[in-house]
């Protein structure tokens, strides 16, 4: 190997180590038989078993799941319609307005939503968190659906009409099958974005409601226990597999 490409190889390895070593440590120590995160003493599944007994944590996980499912459902419905509209009316301003919320800092979104909810007298809780998550998940679904439609051969719809399909049947038989992978990918994205959101949830959850990320945060304020490593590992496995699935379904939109 020439010196230059060897240097490049080491640099790349360094970057990967930096990206994945912390995650790896969390996973490894979630199986560690010691209360301290310092030394490996032996393999155990105790921490995972303990999770099942932690009522607060289970409630938080349940809330997160309900929120994520509701967010996914609403975002897919509204986002798909938005994506179809975007591909039909190709005005740049429209796409920009849909993409912008993805770029706005979470803290700004969180604060402004909080102010808005208080202004319209919406009681903070599950419902406000769902609305808040929907507001940024719609954009992702809309973008994925629009891109699936852009890749669709426009002659396909014409061919269907030509061969006897009404506009509605043509949409159902030709457009829907083509954009379904995009919609599913959008749904998976919405789900993962919702389930591990912290900042926006923090602002909009109110006092009584807690979600998994919020619960984990309040636990580490006391101390970082192997129990947290176990929760984090589970969360990580779930989100990673959903992201991989989404990228398989819509490879043009979400590149891996």
Partner 1 sequence: MSLLEMRHITRRFDDDTVAVDDLSLSIQPGEFFTLLGPSGCGKTTLLRMIAGFDDPDAGSLLLDGEELAGVPPEQRPVHTVFQSYALFPHMSVAENVAFPLRMASVRRAEREQRTREALEQVRLADFAHRRPDQLSGGQRQRVAVARALVNRPRLLLLDEPLAALDLKMREQMQIELISLQMEVGITFVYVTHDQGEALALSDRLAVMNNGRVEQVGDPSDVYEFPDTRFVADFIGTCNLLDGSVGQSETGLVYLDVPGLGPLGVASDASPRTGAPGTLAVRPEKVRIDARIEPATHENRLEGTVHDQLYLGDVTVYRIEITDGQLVEAMLPNTSARGERFFDFGDQVQLAWRHDAGRLLAD
Residues engaged in binding partner 1 (CB under 8 A): 153, 155-156, 158-166, 169, 173-174, 177-178
Q: Quick one: 81 or 175, whose CB is closer to partner 1?
A: 175
Shortest Å, Cβ 153 to partner 1: 6
Q: Which 3 state secondary structure label does DSSP give 251?
A: coil
Shortest Å, Cβ 152 to partner 1: 9
Burial class of residue 47 (count of CB atoms within 10 Å of its CB; 0-12, 13-18, 19+): buried
Shortest Å, Cβ 80 to partner 1: 18
Distance spanning both ends of the chain, measured CA to CA: 27
Between the alpha carbon of residue 153 and those of residues 134, 150, 162, 185, the distances in Å are 30, 8, 15, 20
Do 249 and 73 touch, CB atoms closer than 8 A? Answer: no
Question: What is the Cα–Cα distance from 221 to 145, expressed in whole angstroms?
Answer: 40
Largest CA distance in the chain: 71
Residue reference for tokens 């993409």: 99
Do 150 and 32 touch, CB atoms closer than 8 A? Answer: no
Q: Quick one: 6 or 172, whose CB is closer to partner 1?
A: 172
Q: Quick one: 54 or 151, whose CB is closer to partner 1?
A: 151
Q: Quick one: 175 or 238, whose CB is closer to partner 1?
A: 175
Q: Quick one: 6 or 173, whose CB is closer to partner 1?
A: 173
Beta bridge partner(s), residue 32: 43
DSSP annotation of 205 reads S
Shortest Å, Cβ 148 to partner 1: 12
Shortest Å, Cβ 159 to partner 1: 4
Shortest Å, Cβ 249 to partner 1: 14
Q: Quick one: 107 or 176, whose CB is closer to partner 1?
A: 176
């Amino acid at each position: 190997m020439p010196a230059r490409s060897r240097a490049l190889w080491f640099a790349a390895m360094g970057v990967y180590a930096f990206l994945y070593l912390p995650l790896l440590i969390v996973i490894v120590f979630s199986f560690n038989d010691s209360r301290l995160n310092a030394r490996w003493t032996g393999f155990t599944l105790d921490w995972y078993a303990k999770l099942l007994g932690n009522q607060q944590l289970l409630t938080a996980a349940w809330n997160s799941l309900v929120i994520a499912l509701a967010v996914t459902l609403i975002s897919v419905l509204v986002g798909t319609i938005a994506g179809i509209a975007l591909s039909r009316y190709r005005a740049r301003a429209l796409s920009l307005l849909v993409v912008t919320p993805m770029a706005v800092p979470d803290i700004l979104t969180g604060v402004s939503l909080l102010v808005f909810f208080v202004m319209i007298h919406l009681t903070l809780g599950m419902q406000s968190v769902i609305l808040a998550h929907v507001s940024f998940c719609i954009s992702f679904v809309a973008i994925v659906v629009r891109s699936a439609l852009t890749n669709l051969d426009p002659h396909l719809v014409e061919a269907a009409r030509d061969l006897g399909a009404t506009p509605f049947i043509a949409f159902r038989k030709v457009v829907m099958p083509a954009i379904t992978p995009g919609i599913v990918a959008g749904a998976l994205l919405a789900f993962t974005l919702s389930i591990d959101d912290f900042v926006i949830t923090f602002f909009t959850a109110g006092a009584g409601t807690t979600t998994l990320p919020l619960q984990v945060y309040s636990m580490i304020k006391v101390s970082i226990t192997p129990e947290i490593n176990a929760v984090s590992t589970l969360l990580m496995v779930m989100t990673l597999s959903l992201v991989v699935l989404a990228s398989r379904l819509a490879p043009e939109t979400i590149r891996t």
